[in-house]
């Protein structure tokens, strides 16, 4: 229930901000008229009302892309061979005998000069 109230409050605040910044323009084109109930000669006579009508104009946001010159640092990577420890994983099913751990793969030789 609190989440619904929070969402409703955020929506109302967003609508107020949109109207204040000019992104939404609301104009009432037809006024509201309340329904009428009258009694005449012992009879009740009702006349329908009218809901208000609005004309809504919304702003738009344009997104585009273009080319620009930007200074970027140049990064050079020089590979080196370093020996590091890597984790091994052993998966055993229930009731299976324990197998010896598999040896770690050998590191590839560095051929880059």
83: closest CA among 108, 111, 112?
A: 108
CA distance 50 to 29: 12
User: pLDDT confidence of 89, banded at 50, 70, 90?
Assistant: confident
3-class SS of residue 50: strand
Question: Taking residues 103-110, what's their average pLDDT?
Answer: 59
Query: Average pLDDT of the chain?
Result: 84
Over the range 80-106, which residues count as b (16 or more CB within 10 Å of their CB) and which as e? Answer: eeeeeeeeeeeeeeeeeeeeeeeeeee
Asked whether residue 48 carries a pLDDT value surpassing 60, the answer given is yes
Q: How confident is the model at residue 40, as a pLDDT? A: 82
- The rounded radius of gyration (Å) of the Cα atoms in the chain is 37
């Amino acid at each position: 229930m609190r989440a619904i109230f929070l969402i409703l409050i955020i929506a109302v605040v967003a609508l107020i901000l949109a109207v204040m910044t000019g992104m939404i323009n609301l104009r009432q084109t037809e006024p509201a008229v309340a329904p009428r109930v009258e009694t005449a000669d012992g009879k009740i006579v009702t006349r329908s009302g009218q809901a208000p009508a609005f004309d809504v104009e919304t702003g738009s946001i344009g997104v585009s892309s273009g080319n620009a010159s930007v200074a970027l640092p140049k990064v050079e990577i020089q590979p080196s061979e370093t020996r590091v420890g890597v984790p091994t994983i052993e998966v055993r099913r229930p009731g299976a005998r324990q197998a010896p751990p598999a040896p770690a793969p050998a590191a590839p030789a560095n051929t880059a000069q």
